[in-house]
Structure 1
Amino acid sequence: MLLALALGLLVAQSISAALLYQAAENRREQALVNAAAFRLLGNPQPDRERAERRRGRENGDGNRSRRAERRAWAGASGGGMTQGLPIPLRLQVTGTSPLLAGETRDRSREQALRDILGQQGIAVGDVIVVTRPLSVDPMTRDRSRLRERMARAMGPGTRVMVAAAQMPQRAGWTVARVVEPPPQRGALRTIIGQTLLIFLFLFALQFLLLRRITRPLKLLTGRTERFARTQDPSTPLTPEGPDDIRRLIAAHNRMEAKVGALLDEKNVMLGAIGHDLKTPLAALRVRIESVEDDHERGRMAASIEDITRSLDDILSLARVGRASEPPERAELSSLVASVVEEFEDMGDPVTLAETSRIVHPVHVTWLRRALRNLIANAVRYGGSATVSLVQSGAETVLRVEDSGPGIPEDRIEAMQEPFTRGEASRNRDTGGAGLGLTLARAIAEQHGGRLELSNRSAGGLRADIILPPAPASGA
Structure 2
Amino acid sequence: MMRLLPQSLFGRLLLFLAGGLTLAQLLSAALLLQDRDQALYHAVGGHVAQRIAAIVNLLDSLEDAERRRLVTALDLPPTHLSLDLPWQPVAEPDDRYQTTLFRVLLQRQLGPNRPFQVEITDDLPPPPPFVDPPRRGSLPPPLPTAGHDPRMPGWRRHAMMMGLRNFVVQARLHDGAVATFQQMLPEEVIAWPLRLLLTLLIVLVSVAGLAALAVRTLTRPLAVLADAATDLGRDIRRPALAETGPLEVRRAARAFNTMQNRLIRYLEDRNRVLAAISHDLKTPITRLRLRTELLEDSPLREKFQADLDEMQHMAQTSLDFLRGGENPEPPAALDLNALLESLREDAEDAGQEIAITGIADRPLRCQPLALKRCLTNLVDNALKYGRWLEITVADTPQWLTLTLRDQGPGIPPEQLERVFEPFYRLESSRSRDTGGTGLGLSIARNIARAHGGDLILRNRTEGGLEAVLELPR
Same fold (TM over 0.5): yes
Measured after TM superposition, the shift of residue 428 of structure 1 is 5.1
Aligned match of 1:309: 313
Equivalent-residue separation in structure 1 for 2:44 and 2:70 (angstroms):
26
The equivalent position to 2:180 in structure 1, one of 170, 174, 178, is 174
Equivalent-residue separation in structure 2 for 1:275 and 1:445 (angstroms):
29
Question: 1:130/1:38 Cα in 2 relative to 1: closer, same or farther (>3 Å)?
Answer: farther
Alignment of 1:325-474 (within 5 A): 325-347=329-351, 349-359=352-362, 360-380=364-384, 382-391=385-394, 394-423=398-427, 429-430=433-434, 432-468=436-472, 470=473
Is the aligned partner of 1:323 residue 2:345? no
Is the aligned partner of 1:95 residue 2:77? no
Aligned match of 1:282: 286
Identity across matched positions, percent: 30
Aligned match of 2:139: none
Is the aligned partner of 1:262 residue 2:266? yes
Alignment of 1:9-20 (within 5 A): 9-20=21-32
Measured after TM superposition, the shift of residue 378 of structure 1 is 1.8
Equivalent-residue separation in structure 2 for 1:436 and 1:130 (angstroms):
92
Measured after TM superposition, the shift of residue 445 of structure 1 is 0.8
SS of residue in 2 equivalent to 1:386: strand
Is the aligned partner of 1:165 residue 2:166? no
Is the aligned partner of 1:5 residue 2:8? no
SS of residue in 1 equivalent to 2:433: coil
The 8 Å contact of residues 17 and 188 in structure 1, kept in 2 or not, is answered as no
Question: 1:336/1:122 Cα in 2 relative to 1: closer, same or farther (>3 Å)?
Answer: farther
Equivalent-residue separation in structure 1 for 2:72 and 2:169 (angstroms):
25
Unaligned runs of 5+ residues in structure 1 are 54-86, 100-105, 144-149, 471-475
The equivalent position to 2:52 in structure 1, one of 22, 40, 55, is 40
SS of residue in 2 equivalent to 1:292: coil
Alignment of 1:126-275 (within 5 A): 129-130=120-121, 137-139=127-129, 141=131, 161=166, 163-169=168-174, 171-178=177-184, 180=186, 183-184=189-190, 189=195, 193=199, 197=203, 200=206, 204=210, 207-208=213-214, 210=215, 213-232=218-237, 235-275=239-279
Unaligned runs of 5+ residues in structure 2 are 1-12, 60-65, 89-93, 134-154
Equivalent-residue separation in structure 2 for 1:186 and 1:112 (angstroms):
22
Equivalent-residue separation in structure 1 for 2:87 and 2:44 (angstroms):
18
Measured after TM superposition, the shift of residue 184 of structure 1 is 3.2
Question: 1:253/1:50 Cα in 2 relative to 1: closer, same or farther (>3 Å)?
Answer: same
SS of residue in 2 equivalent to 1:184: coil
Equivalent-residue separation in structure 2 for 1:272 and 1:29 (angstroms):
95
SS of residue in 2 equivalent to 1:335: helix
Equivalent-residue separation in structure 2 for 1:456 and 1:158 (angstroms):
76
Equivalent-residue separation in structure 1 for 2:225 and 2:309 (angstroms):
46
Equivalent-residue separation in structure 1 for 2:225 and 2:289 (angstroms):
51
Equivalent-residue separation in structure 2 for 1:328 and 1:89 (angstroms):
89
The 8 Å contact of residues 378 and 444 in structure 2, kept in 1 or not, is answered as yes
SS of residue in 2 equivalent to 1:373: helix
The equivalent position to 2:112 in structure 1, one of 111, 118, 121, is 121
Deviations 1:249-298 (A, max 9, x none): 22222221121011011112112211222233233223322323332222
TM-score by length of 2: 0.74
Deviations 1:172-195 (A, max 9, x none): 543253565984369885686478
Measured after TM superposition, the shift of residue 342 of structure 1 is 0.9
Aligned match of 1:291: 295
Deviations 1:84-126 (A, max 9, x none): xxx9856633425899xxxxxx984666655655663355477
SS of residue in 1 equivalent to 2:293: helix
TM-score by length of 1: 0.74
AA in 1 matched with 2:22: L
Deviations 1:331-363 (A, max 9, x none): 32221121121122122x232131223322122
